[in-house]
Structure 1
Amino acid sequence: MKILLSAYACDAKSGSESGIGWNFAKELANQGNKVTILTKNPAKDTAFTEEIQRLGLQNRISVLYYDLPRWLQTIYKSGGRSEQLFYIFWQIGIYFYVKKLLKKQEVDLIHHITIGVFRTPSFLYSLGKPFVFGPVGGGEEFPKVLMENFLPKYRLLENLRSFANSTARFNPWLIQCFKKSQLILLKTSDNLNFIPKEFHYKCKVSLEVGIAQIPDFDNTRHNKTIKILYAGRLAYFKGIHLAIKAFAKAVAIHPDIEFTIVGSGNDEKWLKDIARQQQVYDKITWVPFVARNVLFEMYKEYDLLLFPSLHDSSGGVVLEALSFGLPVVCLDLGGPKEIIDSKCGFIISTKNLTEDEVAIKLSEALNQLISNPALLAQMQAHARMQASTFTWDKVIQKIYTYVHESMEKKNRLVEAKV
């Protein structure tokens, strides 16, 4: 099958969203398809060329780049609100680019893979080719009672996000995208709350994160004390404030435990202020953002991951941690709850609970692992087994089973009409 992969974020050397685009292309090519990646930023051309040649996929993967006109590029600022506006213009631009491309290149399927947010439509659905939208997320939300101690600006941002989710169904371009998509893939079932019911029949739920393989190393820990890790952006919605409060309660019972927070972000000061209020600032090791290869080495040094994110759509760091044998303590929110099970971690319920009550539940989970070495060892062993079910080949094979089923169904309907 000849697949055009719309991957705004795509990088052969990165993880997170950019890694998703590349890994989809690579695995689809490995499964015998011919893949054309359409992405931005030609500066990454060298990395793509090197990886494609290293893997021997020159005949199966090609890369096309689309950049907006120079005068529009001035609005771009990576990670900021301006990037969202830039992305919308990019989606409009690639519609006309692909429309011309289809006159000279044969394509069996167009697949929009990144950026994976359900609120922002692709316009490639209208080009007369089978079109797959997703997996997309963004519809993951959390009980508003957990905002009780947020700064006003964080409450405003969350309310604006909720408003955008609830009003997305009135976006005519988005409705057309749902209507014309052959298949709508959702990262979590939470997103169904914001997809009109008339389109639920074409929705499938499947996470889009994966790992290349289970790391080969001695999974036995030799730490003298329990070492807890958080890794990710320092953003208010990552729930790090809950992790700090949970650690404060746990360290009061187990004074020797260690907690390391790895990451950088705009909300660092707020989080450090909370750590001071909880009187654990000096007990926490604060490590700025590190490269993925450095983080992978760090996983080997820790006993468990504490990741109480409030609305992560996926949770790639959770999967990475599992692959290195770290049990995970998370909330019953978003993607992380879809990755772990009771054998490799704790999923803390947030229903009808306040922030302090959630922090207590998190600390109780930590205490169980700290006080019971046998349980911790069992979960560490099962963590790697659980991660093995999320290798990229399995993740994409599952998703493309849905794709092939939808295409076969459509072909049968067309044949029946004939």
Structure 2
Amino acid sequence: MNAEDIASGLDEMRDDIVAFTREILSIPAIAPESGGEGEMKKAGRILELVGDWGFDSIERYDTPDYRVPDGRRPNILLRIYGRDRSLPKIWVFAHMDVVPPGDMDKWTGDPWTLRVEGDRMYARGVEDNGQDLVSALFAARSILRSGIRPKRDVNLFLVADEEVGSKKGMVHILEKHGDLFSRDDLFIVPDAGEPDGTMIEVAEKSIMWLRIRTSGKQVHASVPDKGVNANLAAMRFLVEIHDELGRKYPEKDEMYDYPISSFSPTKRDANVPNVNTIPGEDTSYMDCRIMPGYDVSEVLEYIRKRAEEHSRKHGVKMEIETMQYDQAAPPTPPDHPVVKIIKDAVKKVYGIEAKPQGIGGGTCAAILRRAGYPAAVWSRMEDSAHMPDEMALLSNYMGNAKVFVHIFLS
């Protein structure tokens, strides 16, 4: 029996995959920051379901958390031992937590009850990250059923807390249990991708969110000369700094989905409630996605310097505050072995050429990369995470599981 035979065997598990998904998604697994009780109930049900599948080891690396009823956040490691345990190991990280449903009026069904309509499945967490958590588990189950032992160790880490920063999940594991890993191991995070499955994410931009507070002098709109229009001063600054930053930091890399840095004015808080008042206060925001070759602190220093100059010129006071500040992790080399095994597996299952790319968003793979572990992010998904009526394709569940079979047997 070869990898193709084992992957084909997943077709017989189609109903089991749907039933398993229905079971685990019926249990809300929401972080306490978002009003939930954590992932423990969901983790317990997963362990009940996979307990007799034949994993060589099932281990717990839970994190203390007094905010949840159990006082712990679960991190579960499921192992299949390879024929040669000295070879670099495969690690797949999938997260059990989900975001809240949000506005229930925008859902056409219960977010905690899986609906299957042809190839489409709807529920909270059905894509993020249920799709690839289930796909990886059933790929492992298919291998275990076959009796074939993979060449190298295969490790599935089901982690907590990804949606709110991973401190109780991946960060805790790396800080307290870093001896589990080797820098030669192969790390895969199946938590982002494209509908056609062609993107293998190996690099991310630095992210900086700024709050820009501008103080002037409020007056009646009929006498603008007696005041200082904070709104106007802020708008001028945002336009100027947007254009200046683009010229000052022009690095371009076509590997990224958007190949240059972006400095986007976005949100603006409400100021005065009426039309005929010139506002004395303005609060605006910028989203900056910066190419990894630039030092974020240097970009921030330049913005603050220009804000001081703008303040003096227009008679306002401007304060720049960071809301998010993440220097990009070192990219995973596009020719790294983990990229190659994903490319080969995707080609065998989907018949397409996946290629390494960079993105402007952030994934928890950056946590691994900062710790010195080159990680690759891959999935074939519809990109409906966090939306009302979150949706995933059953065909992606099946196809991605087959990709994982080929990866695990590489």
| TM-score after normalising by structure 1 | 0.29
- The structure richer in strand per residue is 2
Q: Which has the higher contact order (CA 8 A, sep 6+)?
A: 2
